[in-house]
């Protein structure tokens, strides 16, 4: 008998898992409304299903099969089941579950349970068949190392994310924004928002919140940004810049009942916060501040939460009291009423359609002589009395400004580490596919993609960098959390060095996320271009990270200026100009004389030695800082103004900042490795560290050769050692990405569960 046309539609890899289920559902002649709703809800929750496949299943739920179709369903079920092991044929429930791909099984079992079907008699061999026992043990040990001191919190976050309903694949923009708001409220209801406010809800510090943010980045990035704005930026500004009366609002912020935005950026000034135009003028007669947008270039731009949901904004403005200007300060300003409409004097706009993050309601704000009470000033570092006197314990306006901004560097810590999480997701999808997908080969035996050296270089080098940056951010999180804990306790904390470290790693983490997403897109070929495989969405959403919380090029100059200031400070008792005059070249010769690296040793043990890597990275960093200082000296000696001289060596400064970030990240990784117990996990991580370091040196080989720090023979040996390490890391790469413990609902990509031997791909 020829198969019925409607049944033929089910002979599709994505739909075959549902064939036994449909046969069971209709075998008694009818499906009740409650059963239909249960099946429909579970189908809707599967992110891997194509829209066309959904429509086919919806048609089967809406229209009962004819007797001929039911018979054809039975035959199709038998054909599909014929390739299964005998034990899998014990029940139709077993067929349905065993025919499902790895990520479908739990959902299929839930559907069967909703229908009252016994799903117990199934194959017992459902554990990660791709892993040997040794691989599984390695993956578990690596997972413990990656989770670190916040293992319990990370597990809670992953449990929250392990819900197919937390993916907005294919949703229209307006619906997507509302869905992200619902997810944020759910997250707040589970108590995660409270982690942003240590001392208000529990003891501790901000390390837990940054670990929460890093783990949330495994899921939908619009949710991540919404959480970052609501709890990190808006709530964080109240916590770190406000006092008790502002802290009293934090329970409502943590519960998602008081939604806010962070109004710092202006369209005309970008990263130049000191040059903001928005004004806040104190009126002593009414005890109010008057907030005003004096020009179109002063409109507040790119404010997450502003276009639709925020009722309040932390507004950064130039403060004027009694006719005297005191620089940029922050105020809490209501922008919407209870009905959701803009308040008088406030104009709200939508930033418009974006490249990615379509679930975030980015907006614009204008203020027309908006009056707010004196208590609206976030007054931790400066106060205004009722009669109009400005008071601050920090006398220097410049120091006051940088102290205020220094408390807000947590956003950069979070964004940088989130970039690393994006790399983890993209690499997990691409490497799982690389281990299963085969092509070419001799005698008809095709090779797995991961066996090709070019594919190993594509994916294993970024995997190694991901591991290094993960542990570097653990160290940065510790330093940031400790500094903010002291600050909240009332201690005066100098955050200048921390700001340089944060900026450097923010650049490294965000750039790595963008580059790795693109590499994984290409490594997956056409499958990487399909939206259902998630990589395209990752690629679009992470792109903003390179300018979010500070443009990376601007931050690189901040880093370099901090390095030059630190270089000057190392010559105590000398003026900056006198130091530069002396630098005429002898500092460079000192570096060359003390350099122990220019040798010809090429044995693997030496090439893999972290001390060798660090020595080379330190020399590059020091040399670039010294030569930048020398170039600056020459211009200042010729009478060039400092700003103009800095501008002339801008690219040199960016290179110095990159060298600093490369050394800092790897050094902190090595320090973390020293604290790990001996074992397979440590060995694997050290191999990853060696691959990252040698690949970095290989990328900078021209500079080292020009500088005489490497002999040509050693540069060639470095390249060969990279090739050897690629093969070693490739063997463990599946165990490494499994150790990231990314929930299936976050991967949400059929290609991540690809198995060419499985009936689904037959």
Please name which of 549, 503, 507, 543 lies closest in space to residue 270, comparing C-alpha atoms: 549
Please name which of 240, 262, 236, 258 lies closest in space to residue 249, comparing C-alpha atoms: 258
Instruction: Calculate Rg over the CA atoms of the chain.
Output: 29
**What are the pLDDT digits (tens) for 402-427?**
888 887 899 999 999 999 999 999 99
What is the model's pLDDT at position 13? 58
Neighbour-count burial of 129, counting CB atoms closer than 10 A to its CB (0-12 exposed, 13-18 middle, 19+ buried)? exposed
Q: What are the DSSP calls for 261-293, one per residue?
A: EEE--BTTTTT-GGG---EEEEETTTTEEEEE-
Q: How many CA atoms lie within 13 A of 405 on its CB side?
A: 22
Would the pLDDT of 519 be above 70?
yes
The winner for highest mean pLDDT among 67-81, 277-291, 573-587 is 277-291
Would the pLDDT of 147 be above 90?
yes
Would the pLDDT of 390 be above 90?
yes
**What are the pLDDT digits (tens) for 364-384?**
999 999 999 999 999 999 999
Q: What is the mean pLDDT of residues 635-652?
A: 92
The winner for highest mean pLDDT among 212-221, 441-450, 490-499, 708-717 is 212-221
- Give residue 275's Cα distance to chain centre: 29
What is the model's pLDDT at position 395? 87
**What are the pLDDT digits (tens) for 678-732?**
999 999 999 999 999 999 999 999 999 988 888 888 999 999 999 999 999 999 9
State which fold the 259-398 domain adopts: Butyryl-CoA Dehydrogenase, subunit A; domain 2 (2.40.110)
What is the model's pLDDT at position 205? 84
What is the model's pLDDT at position 466? 98
What is the model's pLDDT at position 439? 86
Residue 280 to residue 80: CA distance in whole angstroms: 71
User: CA-based angle 318:319:324, to the nearest 5?
Assistant: 115
What is the model's pLDDT at position 87? 38
**What are the pLDDT digits (tens) for 20-62?**
667 666 765 667 776 677 677 767 666 556 667 777 888 887 8
What is the model's pLDDT at position 92? 40
Dihedral pair phi/psi, residue 206, rounded to 5°: -80, 0
What is the model's pLDDT at position 12? 66
Instruction: Read off the pTM.
Output: 0.81
DSSP state of 677: P
What is the model's pLDDT at position 167? 83
Which residues lie closer than 8 Å to 315 by C-beta, 6 or more apart? Answer: 263, 278, 280, 291, 300, 330, 331, 332, 333, 365, 367
Mean residue pLDDT of the chain comes to 85
Would the pLDDT of 117 be above 50?
no
What is the model's pLDDT at position 243? 96
Say if strands 447-448 and 438-439 run parallel, antiparallel, or are unpaired: antiparallel
Would the pLDDT of 100 be above 50?
no
Would the pLDDT of 567 be above 90?
no
Would the pLDDT of 558 be above 70?
yes
The pLDDT confidence band at residue 74, using thresholds 50, 70 and 90, is: confident
CATH number of the 411-586+605-747 domain: 1.20.140.10
Would the pLDDT of 116 be above 80?
no
The pLDDT confidence band at residue 169, using thresholds 50, 70 and 90, is: confident
High-pLDDT (> 90) share of the chain, %: 63
Would the pLDDT of 131 be above 60?
no
The pLDDT confidence band at residue 190, using thresholds 50, 70 and 90, is: very high
Which residues are 330's β-sheet partners?
Answer: 316
Alpha helices in 543-609 (DSSP H): 552-569, 576-582, 586-594, 604-607
Q: Where are the domains of the chain?
A: 5-126, 259-398, 411-586+605-747
Would the pLDDT of 194 be above 90?
yes
Which 3 state secondary structure label does DSSP give 56? helix
* Phi and psi based region of residue 331 (left: phi greater than 0; alpha: psi -120 to 50; beta: remaining): beta
Residue 606 to residue 585: CA distance in whole angstroms: 32
What is the model's pLDDT at position 5? 73
């Amino acid at each position: 008998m020829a198969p019925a046309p409607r049944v033929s539609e089910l002979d599709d890899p994505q739909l075959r898992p549902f064939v036994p289920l449909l046969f069971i559902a209709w075998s008694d002649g009818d499906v009740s409304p409650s059963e239909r709703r249960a099946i429909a809800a579970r189908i809707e929750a599967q992110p891997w299903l194509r829209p066309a496949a959904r429509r086919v299943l919806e048609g089967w739920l809406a229209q009962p099969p004819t007797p001929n179709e039911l018979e054809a369903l039975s035959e199709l079920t038998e054909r599909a089941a014929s390739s299964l092991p005998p034990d899998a044929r014990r029940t139709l429930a077993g067929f349905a579950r065993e025919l499902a791909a790895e990520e479908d099984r739990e959902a299929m079992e839930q559907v069967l349970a909703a229908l009252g079907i016994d799903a117990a008699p199934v194959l017992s061999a459902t554990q990660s068949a791709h892993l040997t026992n040794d691989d599984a043990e390695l993956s578990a040990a690596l997972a413990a190392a990656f989770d670190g001191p916040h293992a319990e919190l990370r597990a809670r976050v992953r449990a929250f994310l392990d819900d197919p309903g937390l993916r907005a694949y294919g949703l229209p923009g307006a619906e997507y924004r509302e869905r992200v708001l619902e997810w944020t409220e759910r997250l707040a209801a589970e108590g995660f928002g409270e982690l942003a406010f240590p001392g208000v809800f529990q003891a501790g510090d901000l390390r837990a919140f940054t670990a929460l943010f890093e783990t949330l980045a495994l899921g939908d990035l619009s949710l991540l940004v919404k959480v970052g704005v609501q709890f990190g930026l808006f709530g964080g500004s109240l916590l770190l810049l406000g006092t008790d009366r502002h802290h009293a609002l934090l329970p409502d912020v943590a519960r998602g009942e008081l939604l806010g935005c962070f109004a710092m950026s202006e369209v005309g000034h970008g990263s130049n916060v000191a040059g903001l135009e928005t004004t806040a003028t104190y009126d002593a007669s009414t005890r109010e501040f008057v907030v005003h947008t004096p020009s179109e270039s002063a409109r507040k731009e790119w404010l997450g939460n502003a276009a639709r949901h925020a009722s309040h904004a932390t507004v950064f403005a130039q403060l004027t009291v009694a006719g005297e200007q005191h620089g940029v300060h922050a105020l809490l300003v209501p922008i919407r009423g209870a009905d959701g409409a803009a308040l008088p004097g406030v104009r709200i706009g939508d930033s418009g359609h974006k490249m990615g993050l379509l679930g975030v309601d980015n907006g614009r704000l204008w203020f027309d002589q908006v009056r707010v009470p004196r208590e609206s000033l976030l007054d931790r570092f400066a106060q205004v009395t009722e009669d109009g006197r400005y008071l601050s314990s920090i006398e220097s306006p410049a120091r006051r400004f940088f102290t205020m901004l220094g408390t807000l560097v947590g956003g950069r810590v979070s964004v940088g580490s989130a970039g690393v999480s994006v790399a983890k997701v993209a690499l997990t999808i691409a490497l799982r596919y690389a281990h299963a997908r085969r092509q070419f080969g001799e005698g008809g035996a095709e090779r797995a993609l991961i066996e090709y050296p070019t594919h190993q270089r594509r994916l294993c080098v970024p995997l190694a960098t991901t591991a290094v940056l993960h542990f570097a951010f653990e160290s940065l999180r510790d330093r940031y959390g400790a500094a903010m804990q002291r600050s909240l306790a009332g201690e005066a904390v100098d955050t200048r060095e921390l700001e340089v470290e944060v900026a450097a790693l923010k650049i490294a983490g965000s750039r790595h996320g963008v580059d790795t997403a693109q590499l994984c897109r290409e490594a997956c070929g056409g499958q990487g271009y399909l939206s259902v495989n998630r990589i395209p969405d990752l690629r679009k959403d992470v792109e903003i990270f390179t300018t979010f919380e500070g443009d990376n090029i601007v931050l690189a100059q901040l880093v370099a200026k901090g390095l030059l200031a630190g270089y000057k400070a190392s010559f105590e008792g000398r003026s900056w100009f006198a130091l530069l005059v002396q630098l005429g070249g002898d500092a460079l010769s000192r570096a060359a004389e003390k350099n122990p690296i220019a040798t010809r040793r090429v044995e693997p043990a030496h090439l893999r030695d972290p001390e060798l890597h660090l020595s080379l990275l330190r020399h590059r960093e020091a040399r670039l800082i010294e030569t930048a200082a020398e170039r600056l000296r020459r211009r200042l000696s010729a009478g060039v103004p400092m700003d103009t001289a800095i501008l002339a060596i801008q690219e040199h400064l960016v290179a110095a900042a990159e060298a600093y970030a490369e050394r800092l990240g790897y050094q902190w990784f090595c320090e973390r490795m020293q604290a790990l117990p001996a074992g397979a996990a440590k060995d694997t991580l050290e191999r990853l560290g060696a691959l990252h370091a040698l690949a970095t040196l290989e990328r900078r080989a021209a500079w080292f050769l020009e500088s005489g720090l490497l002999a040509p023979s050693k540069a060639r040996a470095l390249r060969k050692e990279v090739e050897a390490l690629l093969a070693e890391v490739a063997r463990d790469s599946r165990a490494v990405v499994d150790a990231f413990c990314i929930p299936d609902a976050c991967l949400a990509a059929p290609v991540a569960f690809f198995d060419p031997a499985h009936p689904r791909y037959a």
